[in-house]
Amino acid sequence: MGTWLNINAEQGLLGLFLFFILGIIFGSFLNSLIYRLGQNISLVGRSFCPACKKILGVFDLIPLFSFIFLKNKCRYCGQKIGWQYFLVELATGLLFALTFWQHQAIDLLLFRNLFFVLVLIFIFVFDWKYYLILDRIIWPALAAALILNILSSKPQAPGTELWAMGLGLLIGAGFFGIQYLISKGKWIGLGDVKFGALLGVMFGWQLTILVIILAYVIGGLVASILLISRKKNFGEVLPMGTFLAISGVIAMLFGQQILTFYFNLLGV
The only residue of 52, 68, 213, 221 in contact with Zn ion, by rule CB under 5 A:
52
Angle at 66 between CA 60 and CA 71, to 5 degrees: 115
Please report whether residue 35 would count as binding Zn ion according to CB under 5 A. no
Q: Which of residues 165-224 bind Zn ion (CB under 5 A)?
A: none
Using CB under 5 A as the binding criterion, the count of chain residues that bind Zn ion stands at: 7
- Give burial (CB, 10 Å; 0-12/13-18/19+) of 234: exposed
Q: Which of residues 59-78 bind Zn ion (CB under 5 A)?
A: 74, 76-77
Nearer residue to Zn ion within complex by CB, 50 or 185: 50
Burial 30-47 (b: 16+ CB within 10 A, else e): bbebbbebeeeeeeeeee
Rounded least distance, CB 47 to Zn ion, Å: 11
In the chain, the amino acid numbered 206 is Q
d(CA 155, CA 142) in angstroms, rounded, equals 22
Nearer residue to Zn ion within complex by CB, 15 or 38: 38
Closest CA to 133 of 230, 161, 17, 142: 142
d(CA 191, CA 116) in angstroms, rounded, equals 18
Nearer residue to Zn ion within complex by CB, 52 or 225: 52
d(CA 52, CA 150) in angstroms, rounded, equals 46
Nearer residue to Zn ion within complex by CB, 79 or 260: 79
Binding mask 133-152 for Zn ion (x = CB under 5 A): --------------------
Closest CA to 53 of 70, 63, 34, 39: 39
The only residue of 13, 51, 178, 182 in contact with Zn ion, by rule CB under 5 A:
51
The only residue of 24, 30, 49, 95 in contact with Zn ion, by rule CB under 5 A:
49
Q: Which of residues 76-105 bind Zn ion (CB under 5 A)?
A: 76-77, 79
Contact segment (CB under 5 A) with Zn ion among 46-54, 121-129, 172-180, 255-263 equals 46-54
Interface residues with Zn ion (CB under 5 A) are 49, 51-52, 74, 76-77, 79
